[in-house]
Structure formats: structure tokens, C-alpha cells
A and B are shown apart, each in its own frame.
Chain A
Amino acid sequence: MEEVKPQLLKITFDGIEVEVEPGTTIMQAARKIAEADESQGHLVPPAMCYYKPLPVSGGKCRACLVKVSAGSAKDPRPMPKLVPSCITQVQDGMIVENTTNQAVLDTRKSIVEFLLINHPLDCPICDQAGECHLQDFAFEHGSVKTRYEEERRTFDKIDIGPHVQLHMTRCILCYRCVYTADQITDGRVHGVMNRGDASEISTYIEKAIDNDFSGNVIDVCPVGALTDKTFRFKNRVWFSKPEDAHRDCDKCCGKTTVWYRGDEIIRVTARKNTWGEVNDFICNTCRFEKKKTSDWVLEGPTKVKRSSVISANKYRKDLVAKPDFALKLAASQFKQIDDSRPYVTDEDTIRHQSIENNDKANHRSLAANNN
């Protein structure tokens, strides 16, 4: 039987034409553009909740809203509202505006604001910092100041088990961890409780999450709400060195990224693609128990995303070579320390000055204090 090739659909995304298969979402079409030409990476809408390996995820964070200025070749009317690009399927002849539409950019800015008003902004002590999608998103689209004056919301702390640390205040309710537990583990014990801005990720009556694949919720979490207890406060991610590694595992594929500090493996994660999505989910044994180099077969340094701070020294390397403005300024203001002055304490100076000024009252009080 002859295989029928599906008719490719042509869409225009920010003025760039791309042909994709039917059923592709706008987001995937944009990623296809960026994968073909790396310089177009900035065109791809940000995804805070959408996660390709997890079907039915997406549509919740509204970070990826785009303007469809022509629905299709057949029906070229624009769509009345902005649409979530992660779940909207393309039509032939669709014209999408993302970075070229000011309304889209304004909305994106407001989504950052909404996500951050109740976020603790505790990046300096957060283990996710450096590989946090919210950080990237806020850096690219957010504003410097907040208009939020109220107290930020907090939650009661709960312990969800020996491996995973839950910081509910950092959560942006993307539901990825819920879908992970639904789709790759048996017997989900955690979910979203309450509603509105009181919604929280929680386990059934504080039950511990205990499952061979539960650690994957750490990888899918875009923020620092779910972090690795074995890696807590150990190192900043940009000071650790990721290496691709694999081992023979009877539960999972065994293909991971191991993160080194010196010669010590400080954590193990699944391998992620350019978009921060895991290629294959890994089991808890690989993730939490295999922390010796002898457990692993190393494949070489992990290729990290161009914009990632994990790339540490690779990050904007070109700029480091040139002395920048601050250095020039410091050089122009540089003065030698005058060593000729006698070495005196502050107290001596004050006493000296007060005597000089003939301020007897001051002198007396100082003398009284000294006695």
C-alpha cells in the first residue's frame, strides 16, 4: 500500500514562513523555525506550563499568548482574542504575530507581573536559580519594579517525602507535576487543593510521595517549588559542571546528566532539550542514589542552551575580554593610598579634634566616658 504523505500546512509566524504537518501547534511551528535557524530563538513564545513530553499540558499560564491575524487561507478573519500558542493548532495560511505585535508583548509583560506578585523572589537562596524558567521569563519580559503593595501569600509548610522538597510559595501552578504523576507514575497521591490564589500543590492528607518515578516532578517544575532534597543548598547550578552520562538501569533508560562540583557528583537529572523539556524520564534510583562517578559511563560535557547561565564561562564570553565601562571608570578614579599619615584610631581623632576646637565640654564628657 502506498503511504499517503499528509499535506503540509504553510503558516507565517512573525513574517517567517514555515511548513508544518497538520496537528502541529503554533508553538511547535515556532520551535521548528528556531531549530532551523538558531538566531531566531527569540521568536519562540515562552512556555511556563506547556511541556511537550506531557500530553494535555498547556493553556494555563497564558505566557505564550499570540495574535492570530488571519485564521486560515479559507477564513482569513483574525481571531478575536489572543490565543495560547501551545495548544492552538495551525491552519493552512494562518498568520501569527508574536514579537511583532505590541498587544502580545504587553500581555506577556502583564503575565510576568501576575506570576511574580505572589512569588517570594527568593532567588538568592533558591536552588532553581540559574535554571529557572520564571527567572528567564521575567528577565526577558518583565519590568524592573513591582506595582504590588500587599503582603505576598504564604502557605503552611508540608513535607511530601524524603526526596522532594516542596516550596509552595514559589509555585506558579503550571500543573506539570500533576500531569507527570498522572502519566508516568502509578497512583498519583498529589494534586491541586483549594482554589483561586489559595490553590496549592499538596499530597493527600500529607501523604509522602513514594514512587520510583516521583523524582521527575523536580525536572518538570519550571520554578523552585519542587527541588531535590539531596542537592539542597549544595551548590549554585552555574558553578557545577554538567556531563552526559548513562548506566544500565532496569527501570528507566539510564540516560542522564550528572552535575559535578570538582570530582563529586552533586546531583543527577534527566537530559533536557533546548526548550528545557526532558528527553526521557528517569527513575529515582538513578536520580537520588547513584552519586559516584563509578556508577556512570560518562559521555562528555552536556551541551547547554546558549542563553543558559549554566554555561557559565561560555556565557557572553566575548564581552569579558574587553574592559567595560565600570573597569574604565575604576581605572580613571584610581589613587594610591597615602601611607604617610600616622596611624590613629577614631577615638584619638575625635579627642584630638575636640581639644583643637577647644570644646571643653565635649572633651570632659569624653574623658568621663573613658574613666
Chain B
Amino acid sequence: MARKILTEHINVPGIETFDVYRKQGGYTAVEKAIKTMTPEEVVEEAKKSGVRGRGGAGFPMGMKWGFLAKPEGVPRYLVCNADESEPGTFKDHHLMKCIPHLLIEGMIISSFALGANKSFIYVRGELMYVIRILEKAIAEAKAQGFLGKNILGSGYDLELVVQPGGGAYICGEETALLESLEGKRGNPRNKPPFPAVKGLYQSPTVVNNVESISNMPWIINNGGDAYAQIGIGRSTGTKLISASGHIKKPGVYEIELGVSVDEFLNSDEYCGGIRKGHYLKALVAGGSSVPILPANLITKTAAGEDRLMTYESLSDGGFATGTMLGSGGFIVFDETACIVRNTWNFSRFYHHESCGQCSPCREGTGWMEKVLHRIEHGHGSMHDIDLLVDISKKIEGNTICPLGDAAAWPVASAIRHFRDEFVWHITHPQEATQPGAVYMGEMVLG
């Protein structure tokens, strides 16, 4: 069995309550950090661990903490990004629902490290029941003296606030999240200034993902070096993967980074393989925003090496033959999935979730969705394919926040790898619009 850091105790009955969590060794890391360590030492451990942001971008968390400006007399804030809404990703939801105290413990340690006296957990608005679970857990921790004034007699105060969002995908972007937290419309800000300099209420702020912060208790208990030994190269530690799609065992799995994609996909410990009688067609490895990969590039890279579940190996070959680990939304498609329909579906999502602030994303996402809708419904023409590629190129990199890129990549990669299927949709509108019709080279299902 692979080592578990986050989900080790997740199946213990009653782990959502303070007493059971404490019995399993919970909150010892808070005691250790606050009583025996200085904030700088905690930051140093995070740096040593090499833990990378689990929200999608994969930026080293310790380094991010190191960038935090520390001017005199200005409060600093820690914000936990729990606005998980990427299609295909549901790991933070699982973690907060099952073991809320882990996040709270991580928040206390991280806030202590950053010198924040007020920290926020910004939870996606749809997850009201998770918010109640978190609030209950916070009340318990407060009653036990782990939150509030003078934590464990150390003189350190921390108030933890759970803030429900409005359910907008864009508020998962860190500056949009801060705007939303301030009570404004969730429009991403122009950067620079970065949140580490001017974030929430114009004060230095760190925004971290739920999973990143939840790693902190283990790192404090076992040391950053021990954490860095798990995984391969710069991909250290474990990662929660939300596996979904046409596999035997969908769900949230904790893997050690460095497991091969083949093992993750086919071993009984994880996904258990493609559902019976079908075979692999395509894979989205890191949530809907990352490029889709065709079957021949999933388990092997273009160079013929085994593809591993690491940040580096998945992005091997750039976007031409690679993808990204992203937020770990592992979506598997077998041969019954229509790539055109799927791309249209993703595109529809980004069209709906674009904030509408900058022109390429506002107009481009809608345009792409309409063109894809046309192709999917048998009204496409051949120049539409190149038009889509061109629009996606014009959006990518020209927007304020990464949502534009996220909208462009799935479309560009689907056309890059599955152009035949798009062509077939255009040349055979009658067959393509039949329910369940899927292009498979010479053979057509449906």
C-alpha cells in the first residue's frame, strides 16, 4: 500500500469530530509548531518539503510564502481557496467533508507561519453542508483552545472565518477570490501587484489550496525533508486525484507522485482499469482546463518513456504531445465518448463561467462554444476547424487571468489530436447527429 498523508485516517468512524481526530494524533502539529518553533522555522519546513500548490498551477508553496511582504503595522492574511469547481476535480470537497479538522489544523499552522491573525476559508457556494461541517469543527477547535485568543498560552491569536462564495468558477482564481471575499464582483485583478504584496483589503495575502494547506500538519510532525523524500524530483509528496469517467472504480485516490499513469489507471488499488468490454480512447489528466491526450500518448510519452503521475512527466513534450497535472481531475474516456461533444461541453462551461471583464475571453469563449455547437449539431463547415484553432490562439495568453487559457487549451488540444473526428462531424452531419454516434476511424459506433 502506498503511503497516505492526507487520507490516512479518513475512514476512522467519527473522524469529523474533534475528539476522534485528536485521538488519531490530530493537533499535535499545532502544539509542536506553536510551542517549539518560530514562524520562520515553519516556513523553512514548508520550503524544504517542496510541496507544490495543489490548486492547478503547481507553484511551490514555501516559495509563495517567502514572497509575502511584511511591512510594519499592516495585517497579513491567509486565505484558503476551497472554491473547487473545475469540472472533473472533487478532491477538496472530499477532504473537507470527511476530515475537516485536518484543514483547520493546517490553517492554524500556516497562519502562524505567516503571522496572520485572521484567516479565511473561501468555500464554493454550492457546498453549504460542507460549510456547516467546517463551522462546527472550528467551534470545536475554538472550545479546545486551538483557535481564538492566546492559542495554547503562546500569545498568538487567530480567528478563522468560513466564507461561502456565490458558486462562480472564476472565484477560484486567487485575485477574483479576494475581490469576492471583499464583497465585490468576482473579477480577477490585473497583476502586478500580486496578492503577496497587495491582496485582501490591499494587505499582503497568501492564497493556498485546501490540499496544499492540509499537508502542513504532516510536514510539521515529520519534517519537510521526510516529505521531500516521497515522490520523484521536484514533484514531492502525495497528491489527491479525482478519478472519474469510464473506469471501474471512480473516486478520490491519494497517490505518491511518481506512480505511473498505467498503474494508476489499471491497478486494482486505484482506478481498476477501463470498464469491461471497452478500451481507452482519451484522457484529461488534470481537470477540464488541461489539454486532452489521445490513447497513444497516455501511458507513454512521445519519446517512448513511461508517463508518470508527476508535474514534469505529464507535461513532457509540451502541449504538442503532453498535458498538465493541474488540479488532479483525472477524466477517462473510452471509445463510446464523442470528443466533439465533450469539447463542446467543456467550452460551454467556460463560456458560462467567463467573468466578462476582458474582451478576448468574454467574446472568444462564447464564439468557440457557438462554433462547436454548430459542428456537433451537424451544421459545421470545414473552415470552422481552423477558425476554432485561430480563436483559441488569440485568447491564449492575452487575458487577465488563466481562465482564457483554460478555455482555449481543451479546444486546441482536441483539434490537435482528434482532427479526424471533427472532420467526420462536418462531412457526415446525418450520421454524426444520431444519438450515441461516435467516430472511430473507419468504424462508426451508434
User: What residues make up the interface of A, taking CB atoms closer than 8 Å to B?
Assistant: 58-63, 65, 81-82, 84, 87, 107, 110-111, 113-115, 117-118, 147-150, 153, 172-173, 175, 191-192, 194-199
Contacts and interface: CB of A to CB of B under 8 A. Distances in A.
Contact of B353 (A81, A172, A196): A196
Contact of A192 (B190, B353, B356, B365): B356
B191 to A, nearest CB: 9
B358 interface: yes
B367 A195 contact: no
B168 A62 contact: no
B382 to A, nearest CB: 13
B423 interface: no
Contacts of A110: 360, 394, 398
B363 A114 contact: yes
Contact of A150 (B357, B370, B394, B400): B370
Given A65-B398, A115-B363, A173-B362, A196 B185 contact: no
Contact of B394 (A63, A107, A192, A196): A107
A45 to B, nearest CB: 14
Nearest to B361: A196
Which interface residue of B353, B358, B364, B371 has the most chain A CB atoms within 10 A?
Answer: B358
Given A115-B363, A150-B370, A198 B398 contact: no
B355 interface: yes
12 contacts: A60-B359, A62-B359, A81-B398, A110-B360, A117-B363, A118-B363, A148-B367, A191-B185, A195-B353, A195-B354, A196-B356, A196-B365
B351 interface: yes
A196 B358 contact: no
A228 B355 CA distance: 29
Contact of A199 (B362, B365, B394): B362
A323 to B, nearest CB: 42
Given A58-B190, A114-B362, A195-B355, 11 more contacts: A59-B400, A60-B357, A60-B400, A62-B358, A114-B367, A148-B367, A150-B370, A173-B362, A191-B185, A195-B170, A195-B354
B57 interface: no
B364 A114 contact: yes
Contacts of A63: 359
Interface of B: 168, 170, 185, 190, 351-360, 362-367, 370-371, 374, 387, 394, 397-400
Contact of A195 (B190, B356, B359): B356
B394 A197 contact: no
Interface of A is mostly: loop
A117 B363 CA distance: 7
A244 to B, nearest CB: 34
A173 B356 contact: yes
B354 A197 contact: yes
A147 B357 contact: no
Contacts, number: 89
Contacts of B371: 150
B39 to A, nearest CB: 30
A62 B362 contact: no
Contacts of B398: 62, 65, 81-82, 107, 110-111
B149 to A, nearest CB: 37
A197 B190 contact: no
A61 B185 CA distance: 18
Contacts of B365: 196-197
A59 B397 CA distance: 14
A300 B77 CA distance: 56
A114 B400 CA distance: 15
B355 A197 contact: no
Contacts of A194: 356
A113 B356 CA distance: 16
Nearest to A112: B359
A84 B353 CA distance: 23
Nearest to B354: A196
A126 to B, nearest CB: 19
Contact of B359 (A81, A82, A111, A148): A111
A58 B360 CA distance: 15
B367 A117 contact: yes
A101 to B, nearest CB: 14
Contacts of A173: 356-357, 359, 362
A267 B215 CA distance: 65
B360 A62 contact: yes
B358 A61 contact: yes
B360 A114 contact: yes
Contacts of A149: 374
Contacts of A61: 358-359
A37 to B, nearest CB: 30
Nearest to B404: A62
Contacts of B351: 196-197
A197 B366 contact: yes
A114 B356 contact: no
Contacts of A111: 359-360, 398
B375 to A, nearest CB: 12
B41 to A, nearest CB: 31
Contacts of B360: 62, 110-111, 114
A197 to B, nearest CB: 4
A197 B397 contact: no
Given A82-B398, A107-B398, A197 B363 contact: yes
A58 B357 CA distance: 11
B359 A172 contact: yes
B185 A87 contact: no
A175 B354 CA distance: 16
A107 B359 CA distance: 12
Nearest to B365: A196
